[in-house]
Structure 1
Amino acid sequence: MNIGSAIAKTFTDQTVLSAITSTIFIILLGYWFRKRGIFGEHFGKVLTKVVLSAALPALVLNSFMQPIDSKSMQQGANVLVWGILVYVLLIIITPFMFPRGDKDKNTSLSVATAFGSTTFFGIPIVGAIYGPKGVIYSSIFNVGYRIFLYSYGYIKMSGLKMSKDNVKKMFLNPIVIVTFLGLILWMIQGSMPQVTVPAMNKGVATGTMTTVAFYRIDQTAIWLWKPLNFLQSLASPLAWLAIGCTLGSSSFKEVAEDKLTWLYAFNKVIIVPLINLLILLLLNMTGIVNFDFVAVATVVIMMATPTAAVVASYAIGFDHDALLISKASFLSTVCAVVASPIWIAILNVLNHTGVLH
């Protein structure tokens, strides 16, 4: 597959295309509602409260309701470890990617650079291009993402200090509690009491039977999984509406003229995935750790995603450079639309030339 055909495949895949257009269209809708006065000045904060209090906890818990694929466990373990280490690395280096003069802006942009929209923007693209194997790797990779996004990201964007009371408050946050609970349940499911039930795919019976841990509510308690699924589906669209609402206090001209926002978009969709690609290639060449092609491609594409809706929700909800992050979210989405098919093409070329296999 050459670069041209790889790009064409990306833009003609309906799943990929819908992921891109949904983000842009709903942000623009929020922007238009704010300009028309349908959304008030503070309505974005109301939306983010719903996201942070209900939609995100449901999203996090449901995301761990999936099996561990034994055939991909070795690669999955590699992806899991790298998915944790890379965020430690990004937490260290991203503050140096932006001007150091304004500490608050530096903090906001560094957090937004580390954490992209992997769940909605990344996973659909990975799944469309690399199939179920890519979805498994992306879900495993997201374990480290969620741990740091809902702990480190929450602390930095909320402005909490690492005092005893604030650390307690952070760990009592519903999102953080559900993240660690979900991670533990996901990891130990094989050793828990098992039940045999009709297999379900997104709440619909498949006509076969499956054996799962008793707490896999996506298979054993659809009556509980379904309302959580409805809640989790609100997370991204409500966050995008809030982004558009916040952007409504400025203009697209302001976004285009903001040099700091352009620097952010470049770092987010070019530099961060490039760092990941180079390190993974080095690990493969030295034999320290071996990642297969799909694993490398999954990581690179997940890291080339625009601003995470959660980070934008933090910025708006905590009044932490909300307008700057909203600008960054919109511009990085547009840039990711262009960059994602290019990254896919580069990865396919590396695969066909034997650099990745």
Structure 2
Amino acid sequence: MEIGKILESIMRNNNIVGTISSVIVIIGAGFFFTKKKVIPSNCAGSLSKVILNLAIPTLSYNAFMQDIDSRKLEQSLSILVWGIVIHLVLIFLTKIFYKNYSGDRNDVLRMMTIFGSTTVFGIPVIQAVYGDTGAMYASVFNIPYRALLYTYGYMTIAGVKLKKENMGKIISNPIIVATFLGMFVWMFQNYFFQVSVIEGDIIRKYAFLRIDKTAYWLFKPMQYLASLNAPLSWLSIGITLAGVSFNDILKSKISWGYSVVKVVVIPVFLVALYTIMNMTGVLTTSYIALATIVLMMATPAATVIATYTIHFNKEPVLTSSCSLMSSIFSVAMIPFLIITIEILKSMGIFS
């Protein structure tokens, strides 16, 4: 198929076009109404609490409410392994990327490169474009991400060793709990107590924890909560961007360099790597799995890392500058990556 026809088919895909336009419009609305003082500039923090404690956990669990098949199981385990490998490799590669910087500046740049804002930027877009399968893959990818974020990321910025309270924070995190519970139900659903459910003229059996089939009265409100994730996340981005000076950020060469590495170089390298592996038969990856991994890595600096740097006074100004610049890069880059992946899919490289 010609590239022109592929692009035309992509632009006719209402789901993709609608998601991209929604990101731009809702972020713009948050920015505009905050500048006009209609929305309080300090409400982004409250929105993030709703997102982290309600929207993302329900989305993570609901994403696993689907029938299991060998292909999805294989891809999920592959994504889990790749999530571990990518983050561990970046721990070492970032030492090379930022070898010209030392002390706190080196630590902060490295942590912002390793850990992206997957909750606000990655998962909402992936869920909107690729549905529950994409959300499920994203939740799996985030397991090693969060484990390292709350341990290695914290210890590096704080300059401390691993403590029991940090492990407790990881284990009790609502998103981690919901992801593990959902993944457990999905993987072992055929071995749980089965409940008969009437679907049209057919009676089917489902695990009692498949609440999408056995307890719709509970599943529906969880769906509503999960649907808050994307709009609230994008709105909070706009609110945050409204409070930062663009002129100061545009003058920061470090912010430009960081954003290029984080949002452009790493995702493009991953697209090239997976394309080569698929074409040579070294590793077969579905296009949704590819999109999940690439888009999760194309996110700007993680807000948790920004919180760490502010709390411990480790280059907080640089962090804010890099966060905003990389956010702008990400808003522009994510649509490009989605279109690129759709082109590769249309060419038959990914199924």
Same fold (TM over 0.5): yes
Correspondence for 2:295: 305
Cα distance in 2, alignment partners of residues 323 and 218 from structure 1: 43
Q: 5 Å matches for 1:260-339?
A: 260-280=254-274, 283=277, 289-291=282-284, 295=286, 297-305=287-295, 311-312=302-303, 315=306, 319=310, 321-322=319-320, 324-339=322-337
- TM-score, normalised to structure 2, is 0.78
Which residue is equivalent to 1:203?
Answer: none
Which moves more between the two structures, 245-254 or 225-234? 245-254
Partner of 2:126: 122
Counterparts of 1:53 and 1:73, CA distance in 2: 27
Letter in 1 for 2:176: V
1:165-215 deviation digits (Å, cap 9, x = unpaired): 22222222222222222222222112212222145xxxxxx7754432110
Deviation string for 1:270-301 (max 9, x for gaps)? 433343344445555776x5415xx1x33433
Q: Secondary structure at the match of 1:67?
A: coil
Q: Deviations over 1:26-83 (max 9, x none)?
A: 1111111221112333221121122222222222221222221246555565455445
**Secondary structure of 1:181's match?**
helix
> 1:245 aligned to 239, 253, 256, which one?
239
Deviation for aligned residue 1:248 = 0.7
For 2:226 and 2:350, locate their aligned partners in 1 and report how far apart those are by CA, in whole Å. 36
* Contact map agreement 1:57 1:174 (CA 8 A) in 2: yes
Asked whether the 8 Å contact 1:150–1:175 carries over to 2, the reply is: no
| RMSD between aligned residues | 3.6
TM-score (norm 1): 0.77
2:11 maps to what in 1?
11
Q: Structure 1 34/314 Cα, relative in aligned 2: closer, same or farther at 3 Å? A: farther
Asked whether the equivalents of residues 26 and 241 of structure 1 are also in contact (C-alpha less than 8 Å), the reply is yes
Q: Residue 225 of structure 1 corresponds to which residue in structure 2?
A: 219
Q: Which runs of 4+ in 1 moved over 6 A?
A: 113-116
Q: Tell me the equivalent position of 1:55.
A: 55
Aligned residues: 335
Identity rate, percent: 27
Structure-to-structure mapping, 1:102-121, within 5 angstroms:
102=105, 103-112=107-116, 117-121=121-125
Alpha-carbon contact 1:95-1:107 (below 8 Å) kept: no
Structure 1 stretch displaced more, 169-178 or 138-147: 138-147
Q: Give the secondary structure class of the aligned counterpart of 1:305.
A: helix
Q: Which residue of 1 aligns with 2:142?
A: 146
**Structure 1 spans left out of the alignment, 5+ residues:** 128-134, 200-205
SS at match of 2:205: strand
Closer, same or farther: CA 247–125 of 1 in aligned 2, 3 Å: same
Judged with a 3 Å threshold, the aligned counterparts in structure 2 of structure 1 residues 264 and 226 are, in CA distance, closer, same or farther, namely farther
Amino acid at match of 2:17: L
- Bigger mean CA deviation after superposition, 35-44 or 215-224: 35-44
Which runs of 5 or more structure 2 residues have no equivalent in the other structure? 311-315
